[in-house]
Amino acid sequence: MNAVVDEHYGNLIPVLCVKFFVIENRLLGNVDHELRREFSDDASDHIPSIVTQVTTGFRNQSKTFSGHDPRIMPMPEVTTPLTSQNAVLAFFDVDNTLMRGASVYYLAKEAWRRGIVGWRDISRFAWHQFRFISVGENHKHMATARERALAIVGGHSEHTLFELAEQIYERDILPNLWPETVDLTREHLAKGHEVWLVTATPQFVAEVIAARLGLTGALGTRVHAKDGILTGELDGHVLHGDEKAVVATELAERLGADLAECWAYSDSSNDIPLLTAVGHRVAVNADAKLTHHAEKMGWQVMPLNRAGLKEARKRVKREAKTVRKSRR
């Protein structure tokens, strides 16, 4: 049995297969009606010319089509979704990332409403808030504000302060949430990720925010309590700068998460250690120093607008691994 070699595919096409109109169980689209009659009449003398027409048509069609059947357009590329059997964590800063301004200011504001602090204290907090919103986080000023906030909560019961935090959320925090960042937390939850707030805000405030938004949990600054009454003294360190990276790493280890698969979002250059610790980092509403660092490192910079959110969500859908349901 004679055979012909197609130039493009390099395949041997048996003449006998051509005679029965079959190449890989498909009719070649170029075979015209006259050619079909020649086949049906068993015109053996025409086989050499038929094979020449067939192979030429096969070669010409290969320039436009791909696959086994040259009459069918190629299917879109199918990509396998990225999945993980391990926990994937997404860490979100709170102040000026998840919400506008500093949450500690709203704590002081509510304390002032209740007569816990005086006018001088609330004026100082208001000044820090103005600077924070205008020019970003100043470590010295924010440290002073947080220290004063810790002193405010001293002597009050944990129950009272959780109640106070609920009031803060409803009255002050909820109206100041950035919808773009909140949408990103939901994008991660939809992927099966655990979404954690990591903030210098007092723990009882951070827990209320996380619970109200349906997030996994919160890591905040803890205040020591004795017999249910807060002493006003730190239980550990203020969760700021390097400390955020430390607690995030500890949590990832405890949950069996690979930090290379985890995400972090922040507005402040003080959170560069946290952002560096994970595999996917996004500078949200970033201050000048973080913006410069992010651009230098090739990190994503997300402005708080519709276009920025759209791009960030696309990146999460494209690059974030989906946690398999069997794990949960």
Active site residues: 93, 95
User: What DSSP string describes 264-291?
Assistant: EEES-GGGHHHHHHSSEEEEES--HHHH
Residue among 310, 299, 328, 283 at smallest CA distance from 187: 310
Torsion, Cα 254 256 258 263, to 10 degrees, reads -60
Backbone φ and ψ for 200, nearest 5 degrees, come out as -80, -10
CA distance linking residue 305 with residue 207, whole number of Å: 27
Residue whose structure tokens are 């937390």: 185
The residue behind tokens 């939809």 is 190
Query: Is residue 200 within 8 Å of residue 238, measured between CB atoms?
Result: yes
Q: What are the residues whose beta carbons fall under 8 Å from the beta carbon of 51, sequence distance 6 or more?
A: 4, 13, 15, 18
105 closest CA partner among 202, 236, 198, 179: 202
**What CA–CA distance (Å, rounded) separates 305 from 326?**
36
Phi and psi angles of residue 249, each rounded to the nearest 5 degrees, phi first: -65, -40
Closest by CA position to 266, among listed 279, 281, 255: 281
The one-letter code for the residue type at 56 is T
Q: How many helices (H) and strands (E) in the chain?
A: 13, 12
